[in-house]
């Protein structure tokens, strides 16, 4: 069996592990478009900050690929020919496959702004990006970050640590708009401001001048040494689309992570994942999911029939000493319970007897159980949550949670589909 994987990040690593769990002999070929090996994207902001060296960046070493007899080709795939079972590389080489995995991830969205091509306007998405930004860092000069999502905040943290003045410009009225509620965003915003980061919400850049000055929609102009664009990402699905595979917001896969072509699977940031709470197919660009999906796709490519039930939105962010964990449905309304003490807070949205979403700031101890309650949709009455929120802790978790835990143990562990 000839397995080919396009992309060489965490979904690809998971796929190698999945394939080798069931097939020790098949040939595995990985097409590594970045030519950097299998490295951790979340660690590039630490590389930029100078707190991590290049040596600690790889998820999987060359020895991992050698041990698993996986050949890594440093090249980009430019075309898939499904009827011929071939992938064409940018040097013209053709690679034959029996089973193909698309693990091509995502790329940053670049807004159409006058001046966006300026050489000091960068994204922070790849190892190369981090190196290019590092070469432009100037202590005491201003860096403007467009967007206050996870990547924007990680860029802000890194550049702040490198001694730059950081200004974040966010189009929405709050920071981390996809992760936080307005209430919890206010707590996170205060923390950022206390660390010396300037944040302008409700505004967007309209142009970048030749001297690097960023003009905002209300006319303000910010002279900047560096501009980081962090306004969102888009799945890299052009190869799939051109090969005639079904695509939507991401590549469409079935519960076995198989695309509309039975010989081609897809995993990671490039796919639409089934949201088990809303029932909708959504792009969930999260590292643990990319690894799991890659692993399950690999198992299925090797002849298994392992179902992927889907996932919930679960995001953990750590920046400037603040830990945020949020899980569940951001778009459904319900009864909102809030608790705050110093720099710690918890917000829960409850609909009937179900916890739809929680956002915990600096409260890591209880997030495991809360995530299980959201994910498994354990029934807990509102009055029990009202009691819990007075003093949230492991000890005050509702009795129904512990009863469900005992039930799982009796039935041999967690339900997973």
Ligand X SMILES: Cc1cc2nc3c(=O)[nH]c(=O)nc-3n(C[C@H](O)[C@H](O)[C@H](O)COP(=O)(O)OP(=O)(O)OC[C@H]3O[C@@H](n4cnc5c(N)ncnc54)[C@H](O)[C@@H]3O)c2cc1C
State which of residues 154, 165, 274, 357 lies at the interface with ligand X (CB under 6 A): 154
Q: Which two tokens stand for residue 310?
A: 């889907």
CA distance 58 to 143: 28
Core vs surface per residue 86-114: b (16+ CB within 10 A) or e: ebbbeeeeebebebbbbbbbbebeeeebe
Q: Which two tokens stand for residue 342?
A: 């110093």
Q: Please report whether residue 10 would count as binding ligand X according to CB under 6 A.
A: yes
124 to 143: interface string for ligand X, x by CB under 6 A: xx------------------
Q: Please report whether residue 9 would count as binding ligand X according to CB under 6 A.
A: yes
CA distance 251 to 238: 9
Counting beta carbons within 10 angstroms of the beta carbon of residue 285, is it exposed (0 to 12), middle (13 to 18) or buried (19 or more)? buried
State which of residues 150, 292, 312, 346 lies at the interface with ligand X (CB under 6 A): 150
Q: For residues 237 and 378, which CB has a smaller minimum distance to ligand X in the complex?
A: 237
Q: Which two tokens stand for residue 304?
A: 């298994």
Q: For residues 38 and 277, which CB has a smaller minimum distance to ligand X in the complex?
A: 38
| Segment (H or E) for 355 | strand 354-361
- In the complex, what is the shortest distance from the CB of residue 122 to ligand X, in angstroms, rounded to a whole number? 12
Q: For residues 80 and 350, which CB has a smaller minimum distance to ligand X in the complex?
A: 80
Q: Please report whether residue 237 would count as binding ligand X according to CB under 6 A.
A: no
Q: Please report whether residue 42 would count as binding ligand X according to CB under 6 A.
A: yes
Q: Please report whether residue 6 would count as binding ligand X according to CB under 6 A.
A: yes
Q: For residues 125 and 354, which CB has a smaller minimum distance to ligand X in the complex?
A: 125
Q: For residues 371 and 388, which CB has a smaller minimum distance to ligand X in the complex?
A: 371
Q: Please report whether residue 287 would count as binding ligand X according to CB under 6 A.
A: yes
- In the complex, what is the shortest distance from the CB of residue 192 to ligand X, in angstroms, rounded to a whole number? 17
Q: Please report whether residue 266 would count as binding ligand X according to CB under 6 A.
A: no
Neighbours of 173 (CB within 10 A): 11
The one segment of 148-156, 209-217, 249-257, 400-408 that binds ligand X by CB under 6 A: 148-156
The one segment of 60-68, 102-110, 240-248, 364-372 that binds ligand X by CB under 6 A: 102-110
Our measurement of the distance from residue 241's CA atom to the centroid of its chain's CA atoms, rounded to an integer in Å, reads: 22
- In the complex, what is the shortest distance from the CB of residue 371 to ligand X, in angstroms, rounded to a whole number? 13
Closest CA to 179 of 22, 379, 23, 361: 361
The one segment of 99-107, 191-199, 209-217, 241-249 that binds ligand X by CB under 6 A: 99-107
Q: For residues 287 and 378, which CB has a smaller minimum distance to ligand X in the complex?
A: 287
Q: Please report whether residue 33 would count as binding ligand X according to CB under 6 A.
A: yes
- In the complex, what is the shortest distance from the CB of residue 35 to ligand X, in angstroms, rounded to a whole number? 9
Q: For residues 313 and 354, which CB has a smaller minimum distance to ligand X in the complex?
A: 313
CA distance 295 to 102: 13
Rounded to whole angstroms, what are the CA distances from 63 to 17, 29, 140? 14, 15, 42
The one segment of 42-50, 159-167, 213-221, 249-257 that binds ligand X by CB under 6 A: 42-50
CA distance 36 to 127: 8
Strands (E), 175-232: 198-201, 205-208, 213-216, 221-223, 226-229
Closest CA to 232 of 366, 322, 108: 108
Q: For residues 68 and 209, which CB has a smaller minimum distance to ligand X in the complex?
A: 68
**SS3 for 305?**
coil
Place of tokens 């309650």: 373
Q: Please report whether residue 371 would count as binding ligand X according to CB under 6 A.
A: no
25 Cβ neighbours under 8 A, 6+ residues apart: 1
The one segment of 3-11, 221-229, 371-379, 389-397 that binds ligand X by CB under 6 A: 3-11
Q: Please report whether residue 286 would count as binding ligand X according to CB under 6 A.
A: yes
Q: Please report whether residue 122 would count as binding ligand X according to CB under 6 A.
A: no
State which of residues 4, 5, 28, 44 lies at the interface with ligand X (CB under 6 A): 44
Counting beta carbons within 10 angstroms of the beta carbon of residue 213, is it exposed (0 to 12), middle (13 to 18) or buried (19 or more)? middle
Q: Please report whether residue 285 would count as binding ligand X according to CB under 6 A.
A: yes
Q: Please report whether residue 34 would count as binding ligand X according to CB under 6 A.
A: yes
Counting beta carbons within 10 angstroms of the beta carbon of residue 400, is it exposed (0 to 12), middle (13 to 18) or buried (19 or more)? middle
The one segment of 5-13, 197-205, 367-375, 383-391 that binds ligand X by CB under 6 A: 5-13
Chain contacts with ligand X (rule: CB under 6 A): 6-12, 31, 33-34, 41-42, 44-45, 76-77, 103-106, 124-125, 150-151, 154, 236, 239, 268-269, 285-287, 290
């Amino acid at each position: 069996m000839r397995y080919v994987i396009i992309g060489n990040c965490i979904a690809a690593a998971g796929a190698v592990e999945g394939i080798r769990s069931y097939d020790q002999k098949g040939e595995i070929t990985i097409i590594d478009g970045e030519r950097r090996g299998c490295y951790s994207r979340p660690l590039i902001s630490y590389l930029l900050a100078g707190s991590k060296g290049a040596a600690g960046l790889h998820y999987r070493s060359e020895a991992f690929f050698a041990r698993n007899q996986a050949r890594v080709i440093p090249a980009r795939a430019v075309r898939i020919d499904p009827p011929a079972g071939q992938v064409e590389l940018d040097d013209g080489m053709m690679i034959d496959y029996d089973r193909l995995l698309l693990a091509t991830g995502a790329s940053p969205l670049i807004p159409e702004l006058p001046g966006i091509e300026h050489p000091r306007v960068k994204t922070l998405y790849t190892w190369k990006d981090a190196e290019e930004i590092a070469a432009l860092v100037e202590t005491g000069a201003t860096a403007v970050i467009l967007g206050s999502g996870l990547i924007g905040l990680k860029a802000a943290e890194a550049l702040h640590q490198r001694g730059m003045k950081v200004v974040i410009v966010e189009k929405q009225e709050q920071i981390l708009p996809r992760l936080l509620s307005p209430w919890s965003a206010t707590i996170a915003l205060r923390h950022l401001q206390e660390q010396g980061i300037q944040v302008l919400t409700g505004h967007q850049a309209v142009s970048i001048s030749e001297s690097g000055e960023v003009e905002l929609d209300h006319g303000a102009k910010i002279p900047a040494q560096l501009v980081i664009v962090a306004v969102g990402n888009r799945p890299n699905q052009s190869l799939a689309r051109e090969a005639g595979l079904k695509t939507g917001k991401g590549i469409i896969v079935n519960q076995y992570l198989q695309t509309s072509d039975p010989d081609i699977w897809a995993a990671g940031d490039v796919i639409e994942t089934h949201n088990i709470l809303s029932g909708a197919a959504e792009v969930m660009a999260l590292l643990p999911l990319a690894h799991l999906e890659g692993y399950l796709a690999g198992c299925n490519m090797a002849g298994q029939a392992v179902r992927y039930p889907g996932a919930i939105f679960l995001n953990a962010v750590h920046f400037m000493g603040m830990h945020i964990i949020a899980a569940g449905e951001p778009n459904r309304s319900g009864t909102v319970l809030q608790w705050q003490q110093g720099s710690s807070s918890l917000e829960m949205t409850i609909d009937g007897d179900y916890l739809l979403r929680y956002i915990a700031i600096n409260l890591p101890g209880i997030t495991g159980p809360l995530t299980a309650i959201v994910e498994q949709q354990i029934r807990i009455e509102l009055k029990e949550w009202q009691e819990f929120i007075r003093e949230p802790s492991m000890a005050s978790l509702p009795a129904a949670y512990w009863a469900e835990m005992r039930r799982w143990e009796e039935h041999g562990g967690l339900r997973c589909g």
